[in-house]
Structure 1
């Protein structure tokens, strides 16, 4: 996302992107394109008027907000978070920034890393409408292919993202069970995957490939596509909201149980699709497949 934004700024002669990260060396590709690294988030906020954040969980976002509030003034600055956090967190952050004369847009994104690299993400944006117009030129055709305007209530975009993840995680859970079924019955995972692609398209086929290729438990030098810790956080948000709303998400409850068991069994360096490994154990198969890291 950041690289595509920097390339657009560079091509239009605009000032370069200023960036920071918990591991700053991960921004070397940005630096090579002319973006400016700084040591911490406060320096990012001080040097620009439009600030994008992408973080792992609600606690990190709250910490960044505190850092921003410690500055003498953030009047007129626009903060746009593209992470998946609880709706109540979005509401609280928006209220705090409004009290300081700043603006907040909650804009979680839909799409994995390859989609981001292609600039094809979907942005669910909620917040002050004039500020959405202000930031849209940096989104449409740059980092994203579509903006879903969720209105002024920042909780709505968060709810949409969490709802979307019900599908993502639910599909992964169902495919894991189907692929274990295919292996145990002798149908074969290859035939099942061919059917998934033909019947339901490339997205569900790609979820299956994360399991059959062994990417659910990738080598320790290869980052997971959707880290299991983030998936577990998103599942907990969905289950908590469902309970508050008086409804149930039994498929996600099963997925949470399996992600918890996977983390206990194989550690944190797992993809969200590692529910497949636990489904395998429950069917009398090993957690690791021939193509996962322990099978190589």
Structure 2
């Protein structure tokens, strides 16, 4: 059974089994942040901006990103007294006591941890280092990462994927899912809440549990998006119009995330640069389907969502090859292009569908 962990300032003290440190000295440890994608940037920014206000003596956060301009942008935003740019991964792993990682996919995560290991083999740590893996990765990869680090002295790994959209992350309202060493979780929880997130869900010592939980949560989001995309396509073909589905969501299913996706689909706002890229959605769907096979737990809505995501991406790739993409990076809300294509409509061009829909309506009326 999981525990929901929130500091006394956020919720009742009985809901937070981790005690506050008796002295602020224990929290003057250097924090490093690796990976400044949409969610990672918001997390690192909020930790740098809010951390010193919540934890006395917290040093400026060290940040590293493959694209240095993002790290420079973050430092410019929060100020040099709150963050600094590390020149290399080696600098991050050698100088920092808590290293938070947020990266796009499993292969990149694996590569980064091998680089961590190589750097620490050259200069073994003399005091405890905590690695906080917040990326959405396949659960068994946690075991690989733990094995990479286990040969090094004084190292601990916890998994801490996060739940929440880019807007939620920007507002420090993420839910943090944690598994791993208890003492490490306690320290990281006190570091990140409320500076980065609003609560922690503790799933015990098994590193795979937090990652499995995150993918289960994403399955609910993807399943909801699939049903929403199908309803919008059905509404278009029946002559009702997708805007009526948006109204229906607002009236009867007013979840903020569902409304946001309905607005994106209805308005064809598929720019993934400020959202969640479709590549990430396909990666997550692939991981979820792999887990459903492992546990003999069919999730047919996810199978359909995976197919429609692939269809949407294929159409977008064709557009890019033809030199006429509407956006450079496709958001995963473009899943609706897959349901539209399956229904005989154009994936992204409603004007092209206008005459087709008139013919369909005239045909249905004459029958």
Fold in common (TM above 0.5):
yes
- Tell me which moved more, 184-193 or 106-115: 184-193
Q: Which of 245, 248, 251 is the aligned partner of 2:295? A: 245
Please list, as runs of the form range in 1=range in 2, the aligned pairs for 1:208-247 lying within 5 A after superposition: 208-216=262-270, 218=271, 223-247=273-297
Q: Conserved in 2, the CA contact under 8 Å of 1:224 and 1:269? A: no
Any stretches of 5+ residues in structure 1 without a counterpart?
292-296
- Correspondence for 2:50: 8
Q: Conserved in 2, the CA contact under 8 Å of 1:140 and 1:146? A: yes
Q: Conserved in 1, the CA contact under 8 Å of 2:312 and 2:336? A: no
CA distance in 2, matches of 1:13, 1:130: 20
Q: Which of 183, 188, 195 is the aligned partner of 1:135? A: 188
- Correspondence for 1:53: 101
How many residues are paired up?
A: 287
2:90 is the counterpart of 1:42: yes
- Correspondence for 1:205: 259
Secondary structure at 1:223's aligned position in 2? helix
Superposed CA RMSD in Å reads 1.7
- Correspondence for 1:287: 347
Q: Conserved in 1, the CA contact under 8 Å of 2:163 and 2:175? A: yes
2:71 is the counterpart of 1:27: yes
- Correspondence for 1:93: 145
- Cα deviation for residue 188 of structure 1 reads 2.1
Q: Conserved in 2, the CA contact under 8 Å of 1:3 and 1:29? A: no
Superposition misfits of 4+ residues, deviation over 6 angstroms = none
Deviations, residues 2-36 of structure 1 (Å, cap 9, x unaligned) = 01100124444421011100111012332122211
- Tell me which moved more, 247-256 or 44-53: 247-256
CA distance in 2, matches of 1:185, 1:28: 51
Query: Larger Cα Rg: Structure 1 or Structure 2?
Result: 2
Q: Conserved in 1, the CA contact under 8 Å of 2:60 and 2:84? A: yes
Any stretches of 5+ residues in structure 2 without a counterpart?
1-42, 318-327, 352-367
- Tell me which moved more, 277-286 or 153-162: 277-286
1:10–1:30 distance in 2 versus 1, CA, 3 Å: farther
CA distance in 1, matches of 2:63, 2:51: 13
